[in-house]
Amino acid sequence: MPYFEALGLGVAGVFSWPGILIPIAGTLLAMITSFLPGVGSTSLAALLLVLTINWDRESVLLLFGAITGGATFMGSITAILFNIPGGASSTPTLLDGYPLGKNGYARTAIACAATASAVGSILGVILLMVVLPLVRPFLLEFGPLERLLVGIWGLMTIISVPTGSPMKASLMAALGLVVAMFGVDPASGMPRWNFGSLSLSGGFGLVPVLVGVFTISELISWMRTVHLEKAIPNTAAPDDSTRKGIRSVFQHPGLVLRSSMIGSLVGMIPGVGGTVAGFVAYGQSVQTAKGDKTQFGKGDIRGLIAPEAAVDAKDGGSLLPALAFGLPGSEAGVMLLAVFAVHGIVPGLPMLQGQLQLTFLLVVALLFSNLLTSALGIAATPWLARLKNLRIDRLALPCMIVSILALLQLESRLLDVYTAIGFGLVGYFWRAHGWPRVPFVIAFVLGSLIETNLVLTSQLIEFGRIVPHERVASVVLFVMIFGSILWLRTKRTDSERSARAIGGDVVLGALTTLVAVVLALIAFNGGAAYSSYAKGLILLCVGLGMVIVGWNLTTLHRTDIALFHQPLRWASHLVPPSEQWVPITLMALLGIAIWITGVSMAIGLLASIWFFYRAKPTLFGRLRALAFGMLIGFGTFYFVNNVANLLLPDSMLASMLGI
Amino acid sequence: MLAILVMAIPASAQQCLSMLEDKRFTLVVPYSPGGGYDGYARVFAAQFEALTGSVMRIRFLPGAGAMIGINAVAQADPSDLVLGLFNPTILLNNKIVGSDSPETSSLVLLGSLNTDTTAWIKKEDKQVLFDSSEPRLFAVPGNSDFTRVLLPGYALGWNINLIRGYTGSGEGLFAVLREDVDFFFSSSISMANQIQSLGGLTTFMTLTAGPDPIFPEAAYLAGAGGVVEQLTRELNVEQQRERQEIARLSVELAKSYRAISISSSVDSRLVDCLLAVVETTIFSNELQSVAAEQNLTLEPIDGTALKEEVDRAEALIESNWDLLQQLVARYQ
């Protein structure tokens, strides 16, 4: 079928009546689900796959195109307003989006994110349409070596994100790579750092880690025993406006174009994913920015434009492996292939030739959804910005419970809840002491990509099937990585810090080093499952941890000799403020309570204690608090057993009592 | 429709429908949603619900080479009514290579929706000779390489090297297209679709003991006219017999059943009931037509016949145990 005829049919299919209602409905559904932490568009797609089983294939493609496009932007709103990403791909938005909101520019930031998303998605789809006929040789060029290099490039750009200390950023990145290795060695298939747990054999899930490091750590800080907390200050800056946000995107056309290109191209590479696209775009925005760069990480609008444009531009690209080869290049691609299978659509060459109109129907539905989301986002900016006025101390507990139930809904694994709670607690301390969480998360995301492709590349080089310097794409990527390293060497400086922060860093550094040493001992006594890569990385963690401790001790000796001689006071620097003791203790106990009593009772107990603690000190107030807690416990029980029908293991108590 | 289905059930089995009515079953699929088992799980669950008046929820429990999901089924509390949909030959493969997994006796096989074979795929324009001594490079995902590559490779007398670490069949096929490797292997049904999608690939051989219905033109491994027979003509009778034995074992272990199972700790009356109901479900015309609408191939086997097939493979393993362990030691 001729290219432009198919494009015309695709456009006509989306804008037909009543067909257009399908992408509108899909977009709205995706917007709502992606607004909830931990519930992504994949869960929605899985549900709709069943409900649309009897639909015709054109209608189904309209719906799934809209779901893929509609989910992306909304996750950015929670990132800007609450410092919680709605999904993994919204994580880069935290870096400058939240500081902008905090500085009184919530409307500007939301409008800017919506506009950048819209422009990014248009550019991404244009690029997708241009490369569609050339996609086969392009994707074949990206073998294990090239993917490995893309992963390393992503890592390099993220270490260049301003965080205050490149040494801490490097340690956090190395830790992220190590945590990504938990579970199983990809080459031998042997268990590695799984501590005898079958559940951990699959490693830590991405969503539980993200929910822990960003959502739960943030919610813990919201759960203060003092009242009247707001998400971000109620006072908007005088020049905060929707128009300013929109204008800012068009004031940086080069940045938008570059970021969209990066997003689209990175999205096309199977298995690399949209989160990487956003971070890589952010990194290049820092590296290529002209003028003042000191505001990156503190609320620079360029640091918001780049990831937003890239993440929406990647939507189109990420569908390409599924469309052109039947390969699930992303989570959206997995669900799309399931849709194809159920509705008898053959992906691959037929979608690029005889059924090209179906491809365009999907792509135009995706573009329509992206634009509709952004238009709604811009229109609703004033109201969305008002969400910052919500009482976050009251929101925290419901958000926490929804996050935990959403995690259980994913794969019915209690490990996911323990992971989220564990990383939530650790993330709280990282956040409180300025240890950058983003390098950790992006390294965790990239860890499996890097290791798997390193393993494959080294084997293929050994058998003479890859000659690195003969591959054009790999040479280009080598140059880009080298450029990033050079940039790092010349542009990075450590920032001034207080003696208190140094004391906290000494203790956190020592604890991190201790954990790394234990993991290193396991690795060096663990046999073939622990490759040289695994051993090397854990040793790097030990080394970086020791350097951080040593460096901070030296600085402390130089700047505050009195504190230097009182090691006990260093530890006191880690102690959280008194209004946070209760929520931190409750979160730590929640994990244990789930193990002993099961999810429903543990959540009921948590809610009861929290309400009880904050209730008015009257008998009625206390009784009402307990009643609320019990109600939440029963509600959770009903959800777990009757709505979600989760297959959870018996609690210790249930096993002992034989119930 | 329900009335017709119910009438199709034998009188003894009809009694058990009342036992299942309004019950809440869970069907565990130990793979990710959207994979090869997803569609089968959905059509089976819908038909089972229609027949029994029960509710069947599908839970995807991927990870650890399907062991997380399989353990969830084998160790489930009998009152939880947890069924599984997976390939039981995984357990045999694990037994040979010494991986931890439940015994086949810990599960009752209730029937299989479909049986798939394994195909070896190569690049269309790449010349590969059967009787060459040059080393062959295989892309390997997951942990089933012993029974699907090394064991048949031994039967062929090939010198095989593995590139381990590919994350899925798409990646493996890409590696073949890029000529990073010479071969990739996967189930025939999914290969047929992917060969059509990707282009430029062809089936080199199927791990069957006769022409594969999906790839009737392709060479096959075992039996009369198979590749092993042709390659071993020069060997003595004993060596020919041993190679054929290994080839037949490879064929048995390379089969992929989409089997329904339940923990053997479940009450025997319920098991009998489920055997009858699952048999009625998987052989029903309704399931056939729904599956056909969704391009799913159905080739049902009842629980008794499936158990016989798995038992036969297990007996073959037992009789060749020493040789298999020597091979495992050599390749690991």
10-residue mean pLDDT profile of chain A (659 residues): values are 81 87 88 64 69 81 84 78 77 87 89 91 85 75 86 77 74 94 82 81 83 86 62 69 92 92 81 73 83 81 92 80 69 74 72 80 88 87 80 80 82 87 93 85 85 92 90 87 74 53 81 95 89 94 94 84 77 79 89 90 90 85 89 89 73 75
> Are residues B122 and B248 located together in one domain of the fold?
yes
CATH number at residue B226: 3.40.190.10
In a domain, B330, yes or no: no
Which pLDDT score, from 0 to 100, does residue A431 have? Answer: 86
Which pLDDT score, from 0 to 100, does residue A270 have? Answer: 67
Which pLDDT score, from 0 to 100, does residue A510 have? Answer: 92
Question: Given an 8 Å threshold on Cβ–Cβ distance, is A645 in contact with B295?
Answer: no
Q: Is the model's pLDDT at B226 over the cut of 90?
A: yes
> Are residues B108 and B152 located together in one domain of the fold?
no
Q: Which of A187, A334, A341 sits opposite B165 (nearest CB)?
A: A187
Give B-chain residues touching A341 at CB under 8 angstroms. 34, 38-39, 294-295
> Is B59's Cβ below 8 Å from some Cβ in A?
yes
> Is A643's Cβ below 8 Å from some Cβ in B?
no
**Does this complex have an ipTM over 0.90?**
no
> Are residues A460 and A504 located together in one domain of the fold?
no
In a domain, A512, yes or no: yes
Q: Are strands B24-29 and B82-86 parallel, antiparallel or unpaired?
A: parallel
Closest-approach residue (CA) in chain B for A49: B34
In a domain, A421, yes or no: yes
Question: Given an 8 Å threshold on Cβ–Cβ distance, is A201 in contact with B177?
Answer: no
In a domain, B80, yes or no: yes
Minimal CA–CA distance to B329: which of B133, B98, B164? B98
> Is A410's Cβ below 8 Å from some Cβ in B?
no
Structural domains in chain B (count): 2
Tokens of B8: 């199709």
- Distant-in-sequence, close-in-space partners of A280: CB < 8 Å, separation ≥ 6: A153, A154, A157, A158, A262, A266, A310
- Give the whole-number percent of chain A exceeding pLDDT 90: 21
> Are residues A486 and A508 located together in one domain of the fold?
no
Which pLDDT score, from 0 to 100, does residue A592 have? Answer: 92
Question: Given an 8 Å threshold on Cβ–Cβ distance, is A456 in contact with B163?
Answer: yes
In a domain, B184, yes or no: yes
Amino acid letter, A190: M
Among B195, B220, B253, where does a domain finish? B253
The CA distance from B77 to the nearest CA of chain A, in Å, is 9
Tokens of A59: 């209608």
Distance CA A187, CA A532 (A): 12
> Are residues A503 and A486 located together in one domain of the fold?
no
Distance CA A161, CA A282 (A): 8
> Is B297's Cβ below 8 Å from some Cβ in A?
no
In a domain, A571, yes or no: no
> Are residues B72 and B85 located together in one domain of the fold?
yes
In a domain, A62, yes or no: yes
> Are residues B135 and B151 located together in one domain of the fold?
yes
Which pLDDT score, from 0 to 100, does residue A234 have? Answer: 60
Distance CA A606, CA A599 (A): 10
In a domain, B57, yes or no: yes
Closest-approach residue (CA) in chain B for A646: B59
Side-chain-side CA neighbours of A16 within 13 Å: the count stands at 12
> Are residues B110 and B41 located together in one domain of the fold?
yes
In a domain, A360, yes or no: yes
Note whether A277 and A252 are within 8 A (CB): no
Note whether A384 and A86 are within 8 A (CB): no
> Are residues A233 and A260 located together in one domain of the fold?
yes
The CA distance from B233 to the nearest CA of chain A, in Å, is 32
> Are residues B133 and B213 located together in one domain of the fold?
yes
Question: Given an 8 Å threshold on Cβ–Cβ distance, is A338 in contact with B62?
Answer: no
Chain A interface, mutation test: which of B60, B73, B178, B201, most A Cβ atoms within 10 Å? Answer: B178
In a domain, A277, yes or no: yes
In a domain, A415, yes or no: yes
Question: Given an 8 Å threshold on Cβ–Cβ distance, is B67 in contact with A198?
Answer: yes
> Are residues A510 and A649 located together in one domain of the fold?
no
Note whether A323 and A293 are within 8 A (CB): no
> Is B178's Cβ below 8 Å from some Cβ in A?
yes
At B235-253, the pLDDT tens digits run 899 999 989 999 999 998 8
> Are residues A454 and A504 located together in one domain of the fold?
no
Which pLDDT score, from 0 to 100, does residue B207 have? Answer: 95
pLDDT band at B1 (very low <50, low <70, confident <90, very high): very low
Distance CA A397, CA A224 (A): 11
> Is B38's Cβ below 8 Å from some Cβ in A?
yes
> Are residues A234 and A274 located together in one domain of the fold?
yes
Closest-approach residue (CA) in chain A for B57: A645
> Are residues A525 and A593 located together in one domain of the fold?
no
> Is B78's Cβ below 8 Å from some Cβ in A?
no
> Are residues B123 and B185 located together in one domain of the fold?
yes
Note whether A182 and A195 are within 8 A (CB): no
Q: Are strands B301-302 and B107-116 parallel, antiparallel or unpaired?
A: antiparallel
In a domain, A570, yes or no: no
Domain of residue A465: give its range: 3-491
Chain A interface, mutation test: which of B197, B198, B263, B293, most A Cβ atoms within 10 Å? Answer: B197
Q: Which of A334, A346, A463 sits opposite B161 (nearest CB)?
A: A463
Give B-chain residues touching A183 at CB under 8 angstroms. 64
Among B209, B224, B253, where does a domain finish? B253
> Are residues A118 and A208 located together in one domain of the fold?
yes
Cis-peptide into A321, omega within 30 deg? no
CATH number at residue B289: 3.40.190.150
Among A469, A491, A513, where does a domain finish? A491
Minimal CA–CA distance to A304: which of A103, A31, A43? A103
Distance CA B34, CA A59 (A): 19
In a domain, B99, yes or no: yes
> Are residues B235 and B263 located together in one domain of the fold?
no
Residue A297: in which H helix or E strand, if any?
none
> Are residues A487 and A374 located together in one domain of the fold?
yes
Which pLDDT score, from 0 to 100, does residue B2 have? Answer: 46
> Are residues A146 and A198 located together in one domain of the fold?
yes
> Are residues A437 and A483 located together in one domain of the fold?
yes
Distance CA A637, CA A645 (A): 10
Give A-chain residues touching B194 at CB under 8 angstroms. 326, 348
| DSSP assignment string, A542-553 | HHHHHHHHHHHH
> Are residues B125 and B238 located together in one domain of the fold?
yes
> Are residues B110 and B158 located together in one domain of the fold?
no
Query: What's the pTM?
Result: 0.80
Q: Which of B61, B137, B161 sits opposite A411 (nearest CB)?
A: B61
Closest-approach residue (CA) in chain B for A202: B63
Distance CA A530, CA A520 (A): 10
Distance CA A394, CA B306 (A): 57
Structural domains in chain A (count): 3
Which pLDDT score, from 0 to 100, does residue A215 have? Answer: 83
> Is B22's Cβ below 8 Å from some Cβ in A?
no
Q: Which of B62, B71, B80 sits opposite A202 (nearest CB)?
A: B62
Minimal CA–CA distance to A544: which of A578, A576, A508, A569? A508
**Between A166-180 and A144-159, two packed helices, what is the crossing angle to 10 degrees?**
140
Amino acid letter, A60: V
Q: Which of B32, B68, B196 sits opposite A199 (nearest CB)?
A: B68
B155-168 mean pLDDT: 86
Question: Given an 8 Å threshold on Cβ–Cβ distance, is B164 in contact with A465?
Answer: no
> Are residues B111 and B260 located together in one domain of the fold?
yes
Minimal CA–CA distance to B138: which of A612, A547, A460, A198? A460
Among A471, A491, A511, where does a domain finish? A491
> Are residues B123 and B247 located together in one domain of the fold?
yes
At B23-39, the pLDDT tens digits run 889 899 988 776 778 88
Domain of residue B211: give its range: 118-253
Which pLDDT score, from 0 to 100, does residue A557 have? Answer: 83
Closest-approach residue (CA) in chain A for B28: A647
Residue A27 to residues A33, A34, A387, Cα–Cα distance (Å): 10, 10, 21
Distance CA B70, CA B60 (A): 11
Q: Give the best-scoring range by mean pLDDT among A324-328, A341-345, B139-143, B308-312.
A: B308-312
> Is A143's Cβ below 8 Å from some Cβ in B?
yes
